[in-house]
């Protein structure tokens, strides 16, 4: 074996260190198999560790890994079965191993990278097939839903105003159209793209909390009469707040007749299109120009793993292709992935989704999603059955918004805000505080493959326990 060059960074005893790391990971996985009683908080030793100065000298890897595991154990993780707060993945185990293998090879998927490029393309195609997007879907992997949405809307802007990537908006006013409850990433994309947040038309929602297609069409027509260029309609397939799915078929018809790009932000909800229980909600998806799916949400994978699906890859190339001496384009060579995306250096995040499909199979993944859908319906049923609780919105997917009803003399808004804080402090479950139509409430979103019916029932048990305590002692007395 050749001698290591001076200045290299070999890992001493790497085989033993790898074994130790594997033990820590396995112990972590086992800790997620069932809920724990509470959520431990950082103690003095954690605060001391995290206040240490920059290490100048080496130390043994095993104790350093132990310290890292200890810090993570007192951090907020979405992988635990009773985390119902923010929408996030649940650390699918094969995805963890994929990340380790991917990072070891450290392939840069920005450029043509041999088999890795083909693997990414296959993964995107599989995802499109899984959710029912256009046959033979193309696209790419991105760092997250915000980047995927921004990438799609950059292509939409270039189609709506050709040459804008080079010449700017040239005094053109442009507009995006989305539900009043669309994710903030739409507004952020408008700001980044020069459209401006004032150019985002928030369209009214109907009784099912879906964007009103008639109001959307009227907004497009009014803008065109005023000389404003419509860029895209952004439909939401699973709003963050309530899980509402816009009427994709009606919006697709609207966009076809008005010649406007249709982008579907399905970062959270689009995987449910693969289920028998909710698939009908996504009718019309196959007519969209682009769609976003965050595999690190309801496909259970570790962050970050977002998929952008596009009907026409050439639209991305028109928006992003460039020719620089440090990115050679030899005659006849296929265009590099970097010429279809905002990002340059990109990890092979597709590997964990590719392995998830291969190891678990599409049917099992869809079954896990459907189980979460049924768990959300169970929670809604439990809430309806208890007079101390009120269901605010019928769940379309797996987000459930509800509140605890206090005694008559206590305002419900104040009571539920205090209850949300009490639940966070208690640590047995994690819910999000939310506001629906001006009403403060609690929101549970079930997107974890580890969650079972007992975990769902625990939501009601904890809310009733703490809700009665808050009502009895007053909002300021419970911590």
Three-state DSSP at 439 gives: strand
262 & 382 share domain: no
Contacts of 78 (CB under 8 A, 6+ apart): 85, 86, 88, 89, 90, 91, 448
Asked, for residue 56, whether it belongs to a domain, the answer is: no
pLDDT of residue 408: 84
pLDDT of residue 112: 84
Asked, for residue 19, whether it belongs to a domain, the answer is: no
Asked, for residue 340, whether it belongs to a domain, the answer is: yes
Can you read off the two tokens belonging to residue 164? 């804008």
302 & 417 share domain: no
Half-sphere exposure at residue 195, Cβ-oriented, CA atoms within 13 angstroms: 27
Structural domain of residue 160, as residue ranges?
99-322+331-360
Q: Distance between CA atoms of 445 and 373, rounded to whole angstroms?
A: 10
464 & 347 share domain: no
* Kind of pairing between the strands at 173-179 and 228-236: parallel
pLDDT of residue 337: 85
pLDDT of residue 324: 74
Can you read off the two tokens belonging to residue 444? 């549970």
Nearest-Å Rg of the Cα atoms of the chain is 24
Q: Distance between CA atoms of 160 and 169, rounded to whole angstroms?
A: 11
pLDDT of residue 479: 41
Three-state DSSP at 295 gives: coil
By C-alpha distance, which of 385, 363, 382 is closest to 453?
382
By C-alpha distance, which of 73, 90, 91 is closest to 36?
73
396 & 316 share domain: no
By C-alpha distance, which of 314, 295, 362, 303 is closest to 126?
362
Three-state DSSP at 341 gives: coil
169 & 308 share domain: yes
Domain count, the chain: 2
Bond into 304 cis (ω within 30): yes
340 & 391 share domain: no
Angle between helices 350-360 and 115-131 (to 10 degrees): 60
367 & 264 share domain: no
Asked, for residue 122, whether it belongs to a domain, the answer is: yes
Can you read off the two tokens belonging to residue 267? 């970062």
Q: What CATH number should be reported for the domain holding residue 429?
A: 3.90.1150.10
Three-state DSSP at 294 gives: strand
**What pTM was computed for the model?**
0.94
113 & 245 share domain: yes
Contacts of 203 (CB under 8 A, 6+ apart): 177, 178, 179, 180, 211, 212, 215, 216, 219
Tokens 């097939």 sit at which residue? 129
pLDDT in tens, the chain (479 residues): 556 665 688 899 999 999 999 999 999 999 999 888 888 889 999 999 999 999 999 999 999 999 999 999 999 888 899 999 989 889 999 999 999 999 999 999 888 888 999 999 999 999 999 999 977 789 999 999 999 999 999 999 999 999 999 999 988 999 999 999 999 999 999 999 999 999 999 999 999 999 999 999 999 999 999 999 999 999 999 999 999 999 999 999 999 999 999 999 999 999 999 999 999 999 999 999 999 999 999 999 999 999 999 999 999 999 998 877 677 665 555 678 888 898 888 999 999 999 999 999 999 999 999 999 999 999 999 999 999 999 999 999 999 999 999 888 888 888 998 999 999 999 999 999 999 999 999 999 999 999 999 999 999 999 999 999 998 887 654 44
368 burial (CB, 10 Å; 0-12 / 13-18 / 19+) is buried
177 & 233 share domain: yes
Q: How far is C-alpha 298 from the chain's CA centre?
A: 8
DSSP structure class, residue 443 = E
Helical ranges in 195-275 per DSSP H: 213-225, 248-258
288 & 430 share domain: no
253 & 269 share domain: yes
Asked, for residue 82, whether it belongs to a domain, the answer is: no
pLDDT of residue 2: 58
355 & 454 share domain: no
Q: What CATH number should be reported for the domain holding residue 167?
A: 3.40.640.10
Contacts of 293 (CB under 8 A, 6+ apart): 127, 131, 266, 267, 270, 271, 299, 306, 307, 309
Asked, for residue 347, whether it belongs to a domain, the answer is: yes
Number of neighbours of residue 115 by Cβ within 10 angstroms: 9
Contacts of 460 (CB under 8 A, 6+ apart): 379, 382, 383, 386, 389
**What order of strands is seen across the sheet that includes strand 389-391?**
389-391, 399-404, 439-445, 432-436
Q: Distance between CA atoms of 366 and 131, rounded to whole angstroms?
A: 10
Can you read off the two tokens belonging to residue 189? 């994309």
Asked, for residue 463, whether it belongs to a domain, the answer is: yes
Nearest-5° angle of CA 122, CA 98, CA 360? 65
Q: Distance between CA atoms of 205 and 33, rounded to whole angstroms?
A: 39
pLDDT of residue 57: 93
Asked, for residue 53, whether it belongs to a domain, the answer is: no
pLDDT of residue 36: 85
């Amino acid at each position: 074996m050749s001698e290591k060059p001076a200045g290299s960074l070999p890992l001493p005893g790497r085989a033993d260190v790898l074994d130790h790391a594997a033990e820590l990971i396995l112990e972590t996985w086992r800790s997620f198999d069932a809920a724990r009683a509470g959520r431990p908080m950082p103690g003095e030793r954690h605060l001391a560790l995290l206040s240490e100065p920059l290490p100048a000298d080496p130390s043994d890897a095993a104790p350093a890994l132990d310290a890292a595991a200890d810090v993570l154990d007192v951090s907020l993780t979405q992988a635990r079965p009773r985390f119902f707060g923010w929408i996030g993945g649940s650390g699918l185990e094969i995805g963890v191993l994929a990340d380790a293998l991917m990072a070891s090879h450290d392939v840069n998927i920005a450029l043509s990278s041999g088999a890795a490029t083909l693997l990414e393309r296959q993964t995107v195609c599989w995802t499109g097939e899984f959710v029912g997007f256009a046959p033979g879907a193309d696209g790419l992997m991105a760092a997250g839903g915000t980047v995927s949405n921004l990438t799609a809307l950059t292509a939409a802007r270039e189609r709506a105003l050709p040459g804008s990537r080079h010449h700017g908006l040239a005094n053109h006013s442009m507009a995006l159209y989305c539900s009043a409850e669309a994710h903030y990433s739409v507004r952020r994309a408008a700001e980044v793209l020069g459209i401006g947040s004032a150019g985002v038309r928030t369209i009214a929602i109907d009784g099912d909390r879906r964007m009103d297609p008639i109001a959307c069409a009227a907004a497009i027509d009014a803008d065109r009469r005023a000389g404003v260029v419509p860029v895209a309609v952004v439909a939401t397939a699973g709003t963050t707040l309530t899980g509402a799915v816009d009427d994709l078929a009606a919006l697709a018809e609207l966009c076809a007749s008005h010649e406007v790009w249709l982008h579907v932000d399905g970062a959270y909800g689009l995987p449910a299109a693969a289920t028998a229980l909710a698939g009908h909600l996504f009718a019309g998806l196959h007519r969209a120009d682009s769609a976003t799916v965050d595999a690190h949400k309801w496909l259970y994978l570790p962050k970050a793993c977002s998929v952008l699906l596009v009907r026409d890859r050439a639209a991305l190339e028109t928006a992003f292709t460039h020719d620089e001496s440090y990115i050679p384009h030899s005659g006849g060579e296929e265009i590099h992935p970097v010429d279809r995306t905002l990002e340059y250096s990109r990890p092979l995040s597709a590997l964990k989704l590719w392995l998830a499909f291969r190891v678990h199979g599409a049917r099992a993944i869809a079954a896990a999603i459907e189980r979460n859908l049924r768990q959300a319906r169970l929670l809604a049923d439990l809430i309806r059955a208890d007079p101390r609780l009120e269901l605010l919105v019928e769940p379309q997917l797996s987000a459930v918004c509800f509140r605890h009803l206090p005694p008559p003399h206590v305002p419900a808004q104040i009571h539920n805000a205090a209850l949300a804080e009490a639940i966070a402090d208690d640590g047995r479950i994690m819910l999000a505080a939310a506001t629906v139509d001006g009403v403060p409430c609690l929101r549970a979103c079930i997107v974890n493959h580890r969650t079972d019916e007992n975990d769902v029932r625990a939501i009601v048990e904890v809310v009733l326990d703490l809700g009665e305590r808050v009502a009895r002692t007053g909002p300021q007395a419970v911590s």
